[in-house]
Amino acid sequence: MRKKRVVFQGESGAYSEIAALKVFPESELISKKMFQDVFEALNNATADSAVVPIENSIEGSVNEIYDLLLDTEKKVSGEVFLRINHCLIANYHHTDRLEKVYSHPQAIAQCRNYIRTKNLEPVPTYDTAGAVRQIKEGKILNGAAIASRRAADLYEMKILDQGIEDMKNNFTRFIILSDVETKPSGNDRTSLLFGLRNKPSSLFLVLQDFATHKINLTKIESRPTKEKPWEYNFYVDIEGHQEDKNIMEAIRSISNSTTFLKVLGSYKKGTF
């Protein structure tokens, strides 16, 4: 029997890979350079599951993921929270005077105070672990990368400093995408995506329906439709499972107020 194939964005050592290993320790992990490549692998069945970041507790949402969720038929079947501990990583023969720091824009933003105090020039890259690989293969001696300890170990690089994130309570929430539809566990979350007509009180009516059915919203995010200026789709996380009676009734009710409604999935809540 073949191993489950799990796709993630980034190089080996990326935080997405660490999150995937946390959920699927015995699986075959497949790395992709871009988020769009991850969804393509999932949609064309060259991967069974995907693990992608959707929000960070410090820097907020990963907007591209919301847009990609609109066009996939795969379900959100789980979530995992990962404590992000950034390291400053360099070649073993680095110069004493570092001038640049390479990493993903989110990692750079999470360490902006540290970068400023060290007087380093930030250089955005597509991935944290990819930044480590870049300075290793490019033999960059006047620069360092911000990435995980795992990335430093995998590429046999030197950790100059660790725990360099500005806020220590730094977590990233990852979602799991697959064909799996989970059953109620008693501690679930449901993710929805919907559009609204551009008229007064349209969002209020939807929120009122949730309140009427005693449903707790844990997140609401708007994204441009990209079809008409100033029109938005809304991503919502609610507590409970889509098979719960009050949620079934609420979904049925709000479908009358929306231009479209997509249940992205119900899944057991992750733990920190």
Instruction: Cite the active site residues.
Output: 172, 174
The band of 225, judged by pLDDT with boundaries at 50, 70 and 90, is confident
Q: Rounded CA gap, 150 and 152, in Å?
A: 5
Residue 186 has pLDDT above 80, yes or no: yes
Strand 100-103 versus strand 121-124 pairing type: parallel
Residues 147, 105: one domain? yes
Among the residues of the chain, which ranges form H helices?
15-23, 35-43, 63-69, 105-110, 112-117, 128-137, 149-154, 202-212, 245-254
Q: pLDDT at position 26, please?
A: 93
Please return the burial class of 42, using the count of CB atoms within 10 Å of its CB with bins 0-12, 13-18 and 19+.
buried
Indicate if the pLDDT at residue 227 is higher than 90: no
25 vs 204: CA distance, rounded Å: 43
Q: Tell me, what CATH number does 117's domain have?
A: 3.40.190.10
Whether residue 39 is found in the same domain as residue 73: yes
On whether residue 228 sits in a domain, the answer given is yes
**Is there a domain that residue 126 lies in?**
yes
CA distance 214 to 205: 14
| Domain match, 154 and 96 both | yes
Tens digits of residue pLDDT in 50-96? 999 999 998 899 999 999 999 999 999 999 999 999 999 999 999 88
Rounded distance between C-alpha atoms, residue 52 and residue 112, angstroms:
23
In a domain, 167, yes or no: no
| Same structural domain, 9 and 79 | yes
Structure confidence at residue 234 (pLDDT): 96
70 plus 103 within the same structural domain: no
**101 plus 73 within the same structural domain:** no
pLDDT, tens only, 102-120: 999 999 999 999 999 999 9
pLDDT digits (tens, 9 = 90+) for 12-30: 999 999 999 999 999 999 9
Domain-embedded: residue 77: yes
Query: Strands 171-178 and 49-56, how do they pair?
Result: antiparallel
Q: Tell me: do 55 and 12 sit in the same domain.
A: yes
Instruction: Return the pLDDT at 198.
Output: 81
First to last CA, the chain: 32
**Cα four-point dihedral sign 191, 78, 171, 132:** negative
Indicate whether 33 and 48 sit together in one domain: yes
204: in domain: yes
- Say whether both 226 and 254 belong to one domain: yes
211: CATH: 3.30.70.260
Q: Residue 200: what pLDDT?
A: 86
- 3-class DSSP state of 212: helix
Q: Looking at the structure, do residues 72 and 113 belong to the same domain, yes or no?
A: no
73 and 18, same domain (yes or no): yes
pLDDT at 195 over 90: yes
Q: Does residue 183 sit within a domain?
A: no
- Report residue 229's pLDDT band, with 50, 70 and 90 as the boundaries: confident
pLDDT tens string 144-174: 999 999 999 999 999 999 999 999 899 999 9
Domain assignment of residue 215, yes or no:
yes
Distance CA 161, CA 146 (A): 10
Domain count for the chain: 3
- pLDDT surpassing 80 at residue 1: no
d(CA 91, CA 159): 9
The answer to whether position 133 is within a domain reads yes
113 and 64 in a common domain:
no
Domain hosting residue 230, numbered range: 188-268
